[in-house]
A = this chain, B = another copy of it.
Amino acid sequence: VAESDALVGRGVGELDTPMPVIDLDVMEANIRRLADYARGHGIALWPHAKTHKIPAIAALQLAAGAGGITVAKPGEAEVMAANGIGPLLIHYPCYGAEKWQRIAGVIEGGTPVAVAIDSFEAAEPLAAALAARGLRADVLIELDVGQHRTGVRSPEDATALATRVDALEGLAIAGISCFPGHVRGEQEAMPSLLAGIEQMLSETVERLSVAGLRHDRVSGGGTPAAHLTHLTPTVTELRAGTYVFLDRSEVAYGPLTLDDCALRVHTTVVSVPEPGRAVIDAGSKTLSDAVVLGPGGGFGAVPDRPDVTIRALNEEHGYVELDSGAARLRVGDRLAVVPNHVCACVNLHDVVCGARGGVVEAVFEVAARGRVR
């Protein structure tokens, strides 16, 4: 990116806006905190790169002890592998001839790849593509533990699918995975939710064992319940993604504050048509449309100005409303916004700055941005 070099050494207050800026100290603390938790509980951390899509940040996660990196799409796997990032887990039921060939290409290039799968229909052609090139991938059978998204519906179904998949040349069962996306916040029912998940996972592992299949990898996931992973002790791996930056939604779910959020989008007030409201140069094409349901509402938080609310977004316009009594805003003033959903936000940008003490230290190309295939 042409503008990159020129930005290093600049104060973040001098950056052209809108510009996402990572506080590197906060990000490194986030990486360290979950790495320590996982290490302390004997859980392997497999950070999901969907949040940052930046190989250099995946490298920091690996350096902090991660067992590997998780991605969703073959295009993301290609970007990571091309930058020396691995081993990889493609935690997505990829379907399509080009995808299967691209996965084969990544493995052929020397990066170990495991895949999560929940149907024989998706497994069989992938196995054929790999076998035809003399390659092999480990497979985790995805089990639905309550989110009702992807995943087979019972330990019996998981074992039956695992048995069929393990018989395919090109694929080898290594265990199971789940996404407990429904476990978040301070739910009354949390203990029974977690007990139910543990019961499903342990029963599946037992059945795989009886069937003579590998079951040493049991992958769980998600930032909202990451700190509860040890309460489902069958889980051996954790696929959290958002934890690296955190965002306003995660703050709404858990024991975090806006100070734990590593990424802010620096914006400029471009219009103050009348007292009490203003417009910033960040709309849905900068922050994403993601709404947070929680205290304050709105499309992003402004920690330095708690007296303002981003009440609506158009594509390039953020509508800012001032509390009564708030200090007025002027055209040219700057507001640093913590996005509601940082994964969706970063995916809109070609570059993200990394700063320390308010000075740009690195400019990251969001290399896997837009890799939807």
Contact = CB atoms under 8 A, between A and B. Distances in A.
Interface of A: 16-19, 50, 72-73, 92-99, 118-119, 121-122, 144, 148-153, 181, 268-274, 277, 279, 281-282, 284-286, 288-291, 314-317, 319, 330-332, 341, 343-344, 347-350, 369-370, 372-373
A157 to B, nearest CB: 9
A272 B148 CA distance: 11
What is the count of identical protomers in the complex?
2
B289 A289 contact: yes
B370 A350 contact: yes
Identify which of A152, A344, A349 gathers the most chain B CB atoms within 10 Å of its CB.
A344
Given A281-B95, A288-B289, A373-B16, A273 B118 contact: yes
B347 A348 contact: yes
A150 B96 contact: no
A289 B290 contact: yes
Given A16-B96, A150-B270, A50 B315 contact: yes
A34 B30 CA distance: 52
B96 A149 contact: no
A349 to B, nearest CB: 6
Contacts of A282: 372
A268 B95 contact: yes
A331 B96 contact: no
A98 B16 contact: yes
B122 A270 contact: yes
